[in-house]
């Protein structure tokens, strides 16, 4: 099967837990790249540290497994050096937005043609379930045994405010939508961000009594909706499950939020070279 053309089969079965959403993201990512018909030699994948970042080892591209939070900085060097390469950066939520938050907003601000995929499972899985900047107020984590008081980022709003020119969100439940968004993000000329809500049944699910992978996928299905859909006031079942979150009874929206044109960084630098050579 074609999917196997894109993986390093000798490392399978992969090291993620049973039901881990990151495997579903990898599944969708491969299908997106396959659909685009990209040559494997033209794809560079750069990751940081964490469960999510192990994805690079499993995929048969030019792969770089870097430092916690720094993947976008390495990727910026690669892209600016060889702009003909497709540079994809899969990151975890802590990786992208805690330790890597500064690199994230600055890569967005430059609008450099890199695709950032935030695999958001709302927890630090590799280290055993500590709260991340996307865990959210009221969640439980090994470092929030009395319930988390940290507010979370909204990745979509953050990326948009920072200047990303393509911003989308999907979930591991909505697999076809997710693969299509990744395709669109890769095709987009500029900094593209796809947040993929993903499940960690081992830590986030267990500590927050969200059940197993199947339950968590169902939960994501219930609590998200396409852009512009209804409030969920009437969804009694959800209100019971997530009574802490009653204050914010909006379903989380999925879809493409931002898609616009702005000068891309590498193309702009080509202009700098032209001006420098003309002595202007």
List residues binding another protein (CB under 8 A). 1-3, 7, 11-14, 16-24, 26-28, 31, 35, 40-42, 44, 46, 56-57, 60-67, 70, 73-78, 80-82, 84-85, 102-103, 106, 172-173, 175-176, 179, 201, 212-214, 217-218, 269, 272-273, 275-277
* CB-nearer residue toward another protein: 74 or 124: 74
Which token pair is 92? 């975890």
Instruction: Provide CB contacts within 8 A for 148, sequence distance 6+.
Output: 131, 135, 136, 137, 138, 139, 140, 141
**C-beta of 91: minimal distance to another protein in Å?**
14
**C-beta of 246: minimal distance to another protein in Å?**
28
Which token pair is 219? 């939960």
* CB-nearer residue toward another protein: 63 or 143: 63
**Ranges of H-type helices in 42-144:** 55-58, 71-81, 93-94, 101-110
**C-beta of 212: minimal distance to another protein in Å?**
7
**C-beta of 56: minimal distance to another protein in Å?**
7
* CB-nearer residue toward another protein: 1 or 149: 1
108/60 Cα distance (integer angstroms) = 27
Strands 192-197 and 166-171 turn out to be parallel
60/244 Cα distance (integer angstroms) = 43
- Cα 260 to its chain centre, rounded Å, is 19
* CB-nearer residue toward another protein: 80 or 239: 80
**C-beta of 16: minimal distance to another protein in Å?**
7
Residue 220: its H or E element: helix 213-223
* CB-nearer residue toward another protein: 103 or 207: 103
């Amino acid at each position: 099967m074609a999917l196997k053309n894109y993986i390093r089969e000798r490392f399978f079965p992969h090291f993620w837990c049973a039901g881990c959403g990151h495997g579903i993201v990898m599944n969708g990512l491969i299908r997106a790249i396959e659909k685009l018909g990209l040559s494997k030699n033209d794809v560079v994948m750069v990751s940081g540290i964490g469960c999510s970042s192990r994805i690079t080892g499993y995929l048969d591209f030019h792969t770089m497994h870097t430092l916690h939070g720094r993947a976008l900085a390495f990727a910026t060097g690669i892209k600016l050096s060889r702009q003909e390469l497709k540079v994809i950066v899969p990151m975890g939520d802590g990786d992208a937005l805690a330790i890597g938050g500064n690199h994230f907003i600055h890569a967005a601000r430059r609008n450099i043609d890199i695709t950032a995929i935030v695999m958001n499972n709302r927890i630090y899985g590799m280290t055993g379930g500590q709260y991340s900047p996307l865990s959210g107020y009221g969640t439980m984590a090994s470092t929030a045994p009395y319930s988390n008081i940290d507010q979370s980022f909204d990745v979509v709003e953050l990326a948009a405010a920072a200047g990303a020119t393509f911003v989308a969100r999907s979930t591991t439940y909505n697999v076809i939508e997710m693969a299509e968004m990744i395709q669109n993000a890769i095709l987009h000329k500029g900094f593209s961000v796809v947040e993929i809500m993903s499940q960690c049944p081992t830590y986030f699910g267990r500590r927050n009594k969200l059940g197993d992978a199947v339950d968590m996928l169902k939960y994501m299905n219930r609590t998200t909706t396409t852009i512009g859909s209804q409030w969920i006031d009437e969804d009694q079942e959800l209100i019971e499950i997530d009574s802490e979150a009653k204050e914010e009874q909006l379903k989380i929206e999925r879809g493409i939020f931002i898609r616009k044109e702005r000068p891309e960084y590498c193309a702009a630098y080509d202009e700098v070279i032209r001006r420098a050579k003309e002595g202007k």
